[in-house]
Chain A
């Protein structure tokens, strides 16, 4: 380091992200945030104080060497910036875009105390995109370790686990139920927030590392876990099947025509490319006045997809306030800019239908936040006599998901908890079955991409140990780099 930076010498404001104008982007599926240019990235990188005891790292679930990669950007050594990121995060281009930075790394940034925190996520995205555009990916060829591992599910947890195992020379096969790899990154999060080409490149990298991907393979149906281990010769298995089983509320009218789960709506639009119907065959079946129930990332994605699909009005209904909304701040902000309407402190009581069985409205009731409960959260309570009807013809449920039962049903002895999520041994990270590991949403319930990645990596460590193998050397180097070598 040559210059001594302090909070007083750096620009206080964050470098703004170039974006498509709200009126324009509300009619297309192209990416909203365009990404920093090199000068913008350099300006933002310059705002990092490169702290000796960086607080930000503790906020990142995978412990990325944040000052390290930002310093490399500042020095215009993009290859190194990317390498530092990849050491801890196999999907920097994804996480830079979709991590809830404001509650993870950026909330801890020291600059944030007096000014606006450093845009860590935007810089991470910049480094990843730069690498994608300029460098050939390097994939180390590993000496085979003579062990085979099966990964079930190609979401972030499975991808991360596969990458670490492949790096250690394990012969890895990913089994994916759908006709496309990537999990929620592909079928859930829409194109305008996470272009599919970004995910595809990461998956291509995995293949270059020697990972085999078998699509169209529903484990528990085509093969069971016991078959994988006994007949197919896999020495260890990782279950990363996500929590993709939609929840409904149990109010009258939920099976009327025009009521969708978020997963159905998003799958029709994203996975099946319904936004290009009839060129693509799968219809979406959306009306003109859309209500979305819930206010998380999934709800924002549904609302904004509906808008782009040509809805005249889209209303998000949530029983708490904006403050409690679990969505990324940026997504809420973008949704508001695009003209999505919000009914906070509002809960649906029933969905109304017309004589033909189609949705004609949604009856709601106003809520108020009551006394804090045991967990310290203020529970919403109904305000009697405040019922009103929102005239809509489409209702989308974005109330979260549960565990899919297929794996648990077909795997005798696999312990799950009362909600169907897989239980792990805290010491070994293993499930109740020897050699079977798990991680991501199928263990924790719906969480975040980076938490799933972290879980996949932890499981890989446990699997290597179980297989009697050592983790790849790369991570030893990473440790050295991190301790300031």
Chain B
């Protein structure tokens, strides 16, 4: 499919967060909650892993929510509705093993809110009681509140600065809910690594299984390179084929957080160069 994949809809949630709905009927047909994609926008581009945030089999589209953190994700933010991207590869990874639970808590931190959504919907469809916690740094960054409310028996919103909902971190709300709902059978936590780690620390004493989605650095996303390797339960795992969902109580977060910094120098250089180019071209980066 050399013609690429069209962005049929784009929504901007904040100065750094945006949503694409991409036309990819085959991917939409095969996608399940927990899957991810590899996306490359042009010939010079990196392969960027993104989680499936939603899919619509009738429309033949897949939704991703992206946070602009570095060169590639900023460059992607500059694309408009109607533009096409070169590669949109997936679905990859193991789908989440979602089984009926009487009660689940779903925690999304920042951008992690998007990939939690299809799991929330799947649990709801199975008839589980769903308690959702979504957290953001500040009110301006909040997105998908209504989408979550529609599928949740309880929805809690937290902001770091208290500008909306609970003041504080999602992990504090998780602590509260676990105390209140002793019959919780599973926690799903997706977001930045430190947030997932704290959620695991919080749920551990309660003995509630806690699934996390690991965003280790990937190249191919098909098990070929080992860039994404993580240690889970003392064993070597490839996040792209064995995961990205893992039992968070088994994950070696220290190692993973260290491995996330492997390309810091190059990433900085790329970003600076990109900002410089944008400045010269009179565009905002």
Contact = CB atoms under 8 A, between A and B. Distances in A.
A278 B270 contact: yes
Interface string A345-386: 000000000001100000000000000000000000000000
Contacts of B283: none
B270 A281 contact: yes
Contact of A283 (B26, B259, B270): B270
Nearest to A216: B89
Interface stretch (A30-38, A68-76, A244-252, A466-474): A244-252
A331 B236 CA distance: 32
Interface in A254-288: 254-255, 257-258, 260-261, 263-264, 267-268, 271-273, 277-285
A159 B135 CA distance: 50
A425 B103 CA distance: 50
Contact of A280 (B1, B44, B222, B229): B44
A283 B224 contact: no
B258 A179 contact: no
Interface in B1-55: 1-2, 26-27, 30, 40, 44-47
Interface string A164-180: 00000000000001110
B241 A257 contact: no
Interface residues of B, number: 42
Interface string B46-74: 11000000000000000000000001100
B44 to A, nearest CB: 5
B44 A279 contact: yes
A100 B183 CA distance: 64
Contact of B40 (A177, A179, A221, A279): A179
A235 B258 CA distance: 49
Contacts of B226: 246, 248, 260-261, 263-264
A215 B241 CA distance: 19
Contact of B261 (A244, A257, A263): A257
A202 to B, nearest CB: 18
A206 B211 CA distance: 46
B125 interface: no
Among A216, A261, A280: residue with most chain B CB under 10 A: A216
B263 A285 contact: yes
Contacts of B89: 177, 179, 216, 218
Interface string B213-246: 0000001101111110101000010000100000
A254 B236 CA distance: 10
A218 B87 CA distance: 13
B92 interface: yes
B107 to A, nearest CB: 27
Range for the number of chain A residues in contact with chain B: 35 or more
A271 to B, nearest CB: 8
B46 A257 contact: no
A277 B225 contact: no
A405 interface: yes
B224 A245 contact: yes
A406 B220 contact: no
A280 B40 CA distance: 12
Given A216-B1, A281-B71, A285-B263, A244 B224 contact: yes
A272 B48 CA distance: 12
B269 interface: yes
B273 interface: yes
Given A179-B87, A222-B91, A278 B223 contact: no
A388 interface: no
A214 interface: yes
Nearest to B72: A281
A283 B269 CA distance: 10
A325 B48 CA distance: 37
A410 to B, nearest CB: 11
B245 to A, nearest CB: 15
Contacts, number: 114
Contacts of B27: 222
A405 B238 CA distance: 11
Contacts of B241: 404-406
Nearest to B263: A283
A223 B266 contact: no
B46 A281 contact: yes
Nearest to A402: B223
B271 to A, nearest CB: 10
A244 B30 CA distance: 24
A222 B90 contact: yes
Nearest to A179: B87
A290 to B, nearest CB: 15
Interface in A199-218: 214-216, 218
B219 A282 contact: yes
Nearest to B229: A255
A408 B19 CA distance: 35
Contacts of A179: 40, 47, 86-87, 89
Interface in B239-285: 241, 255, 258-259, 261-263, 266-267, 269-270, 273
A406 B261 CA distance: 28
A255 B26 CA distance: 36
B30 A221 contact: yes
A218 B31 CA distance: 13
A67 to B, nearest CB: 40
Given A281-B45, A281-B71, A268 B87 contact: no
A216 B219 contact: no
A351 B12 CA distance: 45
Contact of A278 (B87, B258, B273): B273
Contacts of B72: 281
A359 to B, nearest CB: 11
B273 A282 contact: no
Contacts of A215: 1-2, 87
B88 interface: yes
Interface of A: 177-179, 187, 214-216, 218, 221-223, 244-246, 248, 250, 254-255, 257-258, 260-261, 263-264, 267-268, 271-273, 277-285, 356-357, 404-406
19 contacts: A216-B88, A218-B222, A222-B27, A223-B26, A250-B236, A258-B262, A260-B226, A261-B225, A264-B219, A271-B220, A272-B47, A279-B44, A280-B44, A281-B71, A282-B219, A285-B266, A357-B255, A405-B241, A406-B241
Q: Which 9 A-B pairs have the closest CB atoms?
A: A283-B266, A264-B225, A261-B226, A357-B258, A281-B46, A244-B224, A246-B226, A216-B89, A283-B263
Given A244-B224, A246-B225, A267-B219, 19 more contacts: A179-B40, A179-B86, A218-B89, A221-B92, A255-B229, A255-B231, A257-B259, A257-B261, A261-B227, A264-B227, A267-B224, A267-B225, A277-B270, A278-B270, A283-B267, A285-B262, A285-B263, A357-B255, A404-B222
